Chain A
Amino acid sequence: MLLARNLKRIAARSPWLYRINSGSCNGCDVELATTACIPRYDVERLGCQYCGSPRHADIVLITGPLNRHVKDAVLRLWEEIPEPKVTVAVGVCPISGGIFRESYAVCAPVDQYLPVDVNVPGCPPRPQAIIEGVAKAIEIWRARL
Chain B
Amino acid sequence: MNVLSLLGRNLTQGPYTEPFPFGPAPTAKRFRGRVTFDAATCEGCKICERVCPAGAIRFSKAKDGLAFAVWHNSCVFCGNCEFHCPTGSVHQTTDWHLAHEQARKYAMVEFGLIPNQTCSECGATALATAPSLRGIAPPLSAEEAVTLKSLCPKCRARFLKARRAKP
Contacts and interface: CB of A to CB of B under 8 A. Distances in A.
Interface of A: 39-42, 45-46, 92, 95-99, 101-102, 111, 115-123, 125-126, 128-133, 135-136, 140
7 contacts: A45-B22, A46-B21, A98-B54, A119-B101, A121-B99, A129-B98, A133-B99
B96 to A, nearest CB: 5
B141 interface: no
A41 B21 contact: no
A101 B17 contact: no
A45 B101 contact: no
A122 B98 contact: yes
Contacts of A132: 21, 97, 99
B21 A135 contact: yes
Interface residues of B, number: 28
A122 B96 CA distance: 8
A139 to B, nearest CB: 10
Given A92-B76, A97-B74, A98-B74, A119 B100 contact: yes
Contact of A119 (B18, B20, B78, B105): B105
A98 B71 CA distance: 10
A115 B71 CA distance: 21
Give the dominant DSSP class at B's interface: loop
| Centre residue among B15, B22, B55, B78 by max chain A CB count within 10 A | B55
A117 B101 contact: yes
Contacts of A41: 17-18, 20
A140 to B, nearest CB: 8
B72 interface: yes
B142 interface: no
Interface in B12-68: 15-18, 20-22, 25, 53-55
B102 interface: yes
Contacts of A129: 96-99
A92 B17 contact: no
